[in-house]
Amino acid sequence: MKNYNSTLPLFTLKKNNSDFKNVKIGNSKDCADFIRQFYSDDIEIYESFFILLLNRANNTIGYAKISQGGCVGTVVDIKILAKYAIESLAQGVILCHNHPSGNLIPSEQDIILTKRIKSTFDLFECQVLDHVILTKDGYYSLLDNNEM
C-alpha cells in the first residue's frame, strides 16, 4: 500500500513579519490614495486588479496583485482572491482595478464581477467593503455610488 502522506504538501498557519505599512482605511479616498502607490506609470497602459486585505478595524494587513491584462481588460480568478483573503485571515477586503482609458464609469462586467466576489466572500464571513476604480487623475467607488 502506498503512503500518500509523503507526497502531500505541508500547510501551516503562521504570521510572517514584514515592513508592510499598516494604514487605517476610513473611506474610498483613503483606499484610492493608499492603493495608488502599487501602480506605476503603466496605470494608463495595462489594466491591473488588486485586492487590499483588512483586519476588523479596517487597518491594512496586506495586498496582492491578482492580475495584469491588456489595455481594455484583465482576468480575475475569484479562487485566487479567496486564497489571499483566507490565508491572511482578512475580515474585509477592498477590490481595486484601473481603467487605462481614463473612464471612471464601471462597466457592466465590473458590477457583475463585484457581486459574484461579494457573494463568494459572504460564505466565509469576509466582507467586500468596496471596489475602487482608479485612473491617472481620479477614482470611482462602487460603494459610494450604491453599485454594490
86 assigned to some structural domain? yes
116 assigned to some structural domain? yes
Residue 96 confidence (pLDDT) above 90: yes
Q: How many domains in the chain?
A: 1
Residue 126 confidence (pLDDT) above 60: yes
**Three-state secondary structure readout of 16-52:** CCCCCCCCECCCHHHHHHHHHHHCCHHHHCCCEEEEE
144 assigned to some structural domain? no
33 assigned to some structural domain? no
Give the domain range for residue 130: 44-136
pLDDT attached to residue 43 = 92
pLDDT attached to residue 112 = 96
pLDDT attached to residue 79 = 96
User: How much is the average pLDDT of 133-141?
Assistant: 96
User: How much is the average pLDDT of 22-40?
Assistant: 92
**pTM summary value:** 0.85
Give me the CATH number covering residue 92.
3.40.140.10
User: Which runs of E-coded beta strand occur in the chain?
Assistant: 48-54, 60-68, 92-98, 127-134, 139-141
22 assigned to some structural domain? no
32 assigned to some structural domain? no
3 assigned to some structural domain? no
pLDDT in tens, 37-86: 988 888 999 999 999 999 999 999 999 999 998 888 899 999 999 999 99
pLDDT attached to residue 16 = 62
Which amino acid appears at position 11 of this protein?
Answer: F
User: How much is the average pLDDT of 84-113?
Assistant: 96
